Structure 1
Amino acid sequence: MTTIHRNRTITGMERLLSELTAESGIEFPGFLRMSTSDFEILLQKLAPLITKKDTKFRKAIPAKVRLAISIRYLATGDDFRSLHYLFKISHQLISKIVHEVCASILIVLKDKVMMPSNEEEWLQKETEFHDIFPHCIGSIDGKHVQILSPIHSGTEFYNYKHTFSIVLMALVDKKYRFLYADVGCQGRISDGGVFRNTALFERLERNALKIPAPSVLPGTDFIMPFVFVADNAFPLQTHIMKPYPGDHPEGSIKRKFNTQLSKARIVVENVFGIMSAVFRVLRKPIALQPDRASNVVMSCILLHNFLRNSSSSNNIYIPPGFADTITNGQVVPGTWRNEQQEETALRPFPAVARRSGLLSTQIRDQFAQYFFSQ
């Protein structure tokens, strides 16, 4: 055991957290990305799962410190060897702590990401999008989360950007909350293959999402389905709308449709941007094996919704102006974009050309006519 570890004291680590709490109010959120009250709520939920017993050789590291170590890792993306200088704990033990805490977060916060379970709840999601894109009930997107080359994986996780990755597939609502997330698909699988391997696609295909029946668009006689909006990486389907491919003249019907769809779809781009700006572990290749990297990403997702729904942490997590806004019909970029690095571990899917069914094409054309007439 090195001198730095022998000099570690439990009271010293707890004192650090106490000092941060006693500061003006910005120090603790700056260190752990949440209010002290939400940290305590999270600690109460996790303590039964992450508390360890003392031994005759050394007192166990308290659950409070274990949680602080793990959140700090997610917030900074610092490697375990860097964190060991801050917390005076070996990088091997930090690795174990982070894994155990993230696995426990997946258990205690699992209900923070839930899709609507009935028509009324889906219609509530539609009201949030209604002014921008009537009948829109959510925004879908996928991202490649970069990881280091997994052991003995060959090209299984090797993607089109010539890096190794796992895939995050998400459905979000207008209030920047995840409704569904799937993490861990191998990066080599095509974007269409990734989406088709999700429970969301499977339930959509067999009409098991309890989406409301088609109804009339406001002020028209168009009977239209309720839809998710997506980019060109996704298939055009009855319940999935994506842009018309190519460039279109200013003022054209297709340009108008693409603009409105973009205003609705940009929500999911904001969610990914905000989450990676706060949990910076997502901004660099994650140096963990795919299963543990997936747990890290899913922990960030669950914490995102936990903080987004919190009255004490919401303005810390998404301060005014942090997300994109729409003013006088124009998108005003959020400040999270100023913090984006040129290279990021979150990479979009490539856009690909696809053949679309006649019905889904007609539905898109009718949406386009509606927006053009407004």
Structure 2
Amino acid sequence: MNLITEKLISHLSFRFLVTGDSYRSIAFCFRLGETTVSNIVSEVCRALWLRLQPAFMPEPDENILLSSTEQFENKWQYPNCAGAIDGKHVVIQCPRNSGSNYFNYKKTFSIVLLALVDANYKFIAIDVGAYGRNSDSSILLHSKMGKKLEAGDFGMPPDKVLPGTNISMPCVILGDEAFTLSSYMMRPYPRAFAREEHKLIYNYRHCRARRVSENAFGIMAQKFRVYRRPLEMHVDTVIRIVKATCILHNFMRCKTMIGSGGITDEEEASLIESGALDDIQPTNRRGRVAAYEIRNKFANYFNSPNGSVPWQSQRIHRLE
């Protein structure tokens, strides 16, 4: 394959991911067949993931998650937090003979992208391809990530004392109402019962740190406008496209942080998500007793002089 052909293939593939043009439109522009364009996009996305994943999304270990906890403490004032997790529906065209497997509660067809995100909007780990009809907590439970978390093999850092105290607490992951409360997963207090000020303050601090996962999806969908419409292709190809855009997102985040050290103004304005990345509905599953105690300890810490911040009491009314 000569240099001109390589540039043509890469330009074609990135044009599809960035603009969201259809295969037919791109085929007309490059004077190729639609099947040829489809095969090129699929193979390039596969190659991007295989080549970039070891460098920009390595398998999580204790060092990676320990670095993430330090970033969450310094940037979002939430200690002992290894990451924020969220699941998003990637809207697709209904696959043939799939029944209701991909039909979600928003009455569209989708696969689910489940992602663990660090404090700088980068993906630590992802799981792609679950049926759209499944709940967030169920997807996590049956994913490789969830099984490792349950077994204690995910590489979570050891227990650590909260700053300014002698209270030892485990490292946790922050999720929304779609996840089940557990010893490694924190979710906010239910809104119907969060009337006390200390619960409202905890919910504010929790959501403030957890929103990095929402922001990461918004940034990715803004840069890769392929998510602006339903993906009309085979599910295996959709999975390759999602994985490629996630790894390219991490690649660009690394370049952004080298230049500016944080999120850019353009990205901050782009956090309104596209219609192809939809929220997953909450779950009503009850958590474990130990998990309630851990959340209460975090709530007490955020309401103490050691853990409070000057502006938190002024902003909790947003959660009421």
Q: Tell whether the structures are fold-level matches, with TM greater than 0.5.
A: yes
Q: Which whole-Å deviations, capped at 9, do the CAs of 1:260-287 have from their partners, x for residues lacking one?
A: 0111101111100000000011121101
Shift of 1:289: 1.2
Specify which of 285, 288, 291 is matched with residue 236 of structure 2: 291
**Corresponding residue SS for 1:336:** coil
Q: Which whole-Å deviations, capped at 9, do the CAs of 1:111-132 have from their partners, x for residues lacking one?
A: 12124323x4322211111142
Q: Which whole-Å deviations, capped at 9, do the CAs of 1:167-225 have from their partners, x for residues lacking one?
A: 10100111111110111111122222211121111111111123222121112232211
Q: Distance in 2 between matches of 1:295 and 1:94?
A: 15
**Corresponding residue SS for 2:190:** coil
User: Which residue of the partner structure matches residue 194 of structure 1?
Assistant: 139
1:171-210 equivalent positions in 2, closer than 5 A:
171-210=116-155
**Is contact 1:75-1:280 (8 Å) kept?**
yes
User: Which residue of the partner structure matches residue 138 of structure 1?
Assistant: 83
User: Which residue of the partner structure matches residue 352 of structure 1?
Assistant: 283
**Is contact 1:307-1:313 (8 Å) kept?**
no
CA separation of 1:319/1:206 partners in 2, compared to 1, >3 Å: closer, same or farther?
closer
Q: Distance in 2 between matches of 1:143 and 1:313?
A: 28
Identity of aligned residues (%): 36
CA separation of 1:232/1:113 partners in 2, compared to 1, >3 Å: closer, same or farther?
same
Q: Distance in 2 between matches of 1:349 and 1:152?
A: 24
Shift of 1:247: 4.8
Given the alignment of the two structures, is residue 237 of structure 1 paired with residue 182 of structure 2, yes or no?
yes
Given the alignment of the two structures, is residue 114 of structure 1 paired with residue 58 of structure 2, yes or no?
yes
Q: Which whole-Å deviations, capped at 9, do the CAs of 1:85-123 have from their partners, x for residues lacking one?
A: 3222222221111111112112111212124323x4322
CA separation of 1:314/1:65 partners in 2, compared to 1, >3 Å: closer, same or farther?
farther
Shift of 1:250: 7.6
Given the alignment of the two structures, is residue 372 of structure 1 paired with residue 303 of structure 2, yes or no?
yes
Q: Distance in 1 between matches of 2:256 and 2:18?
A: 20
Given the two structures, how large is their TM-score scaled by the length of structure 2?
A: 0.88
User: Which residue of the partner structure matches residue 13 of structure 2?
Assistant: 70
Aligned residues: 301
User: Which residue of the partner structure matches residue 93 of structure 1?
Assistant: 36
Gaps of 5+ in 1: 1-50, 53-59, 324-333
Shift of 1:249: 6.9
Larger radius of gyration: 1
Q: Distance in 2 between matches of 1:361 and 1:305?
A: 34
Gaps of 5+ in 2: 309-320
**Is contact 1:248-1:255 (8 Å) kept?**
no
**Corresponding residue SS for 2:65:** helix
Shift of 1:158: 1.1
Shift of 1:61: 6.8
CA separation of 1:117/1:238 partners in 2, compared to 1, >3 Å: closer, same or farther?
same
CA separation of 1:311/1:275 partners in 2, compared to 1, >3 Å: closer, same or farther?
closer
Q: Distance in 2 between matches of 1:279 and 1:313?
A: 21
Q: Distance in 2 between matches of 1:139 and 1:286?
A: 26
- The AA in structure 2 aligned to 1:202 is K
Runs of 4+ residues deviating >3 angstroms: 247-251, 311-315
**Is contact 1:282-1:297 (8 Å) kept?**
no
**Corresponding residue SS for 1:270:** helix
**Corresponding residue SS for 1:89:** coil
**Corresponding residue SS for 1:354:** coil
CA separation of 1:249/1:199 partners in 2, compared to 1, >3 Å: closer, same or farther?
closer
- The AA in structure 1 aligned to 2:187 is K
CA separation of 1:92/1:61 partners in 2, compared to 1, >3 Å: closer, same or farther?
farther
Given the alignment of the two structures, is residue 321 of structure 1 paired with residue 262 of structure 2, yes or no?
no
Shift of 1:71: 0.7
User: Which residue of the partner structure matches residue 313 of structure 2?
Assistant: none
1:27-66 equivalent positions in 2, closer than 5 A:
51=1, 62-66=5-9
- The AA in structure 2 aligned to 1:358 is V
- The AA in structure 2 aligned to 1:362 is E
CA separation of 1:121/1:293 partners in 2, compared to 1, >3 Å: closer, same or farther?
closer
Higher RCO by CA contacts (8 Å cutoff, separation 6 or greater): 2
Shift of 1:319: 6.4
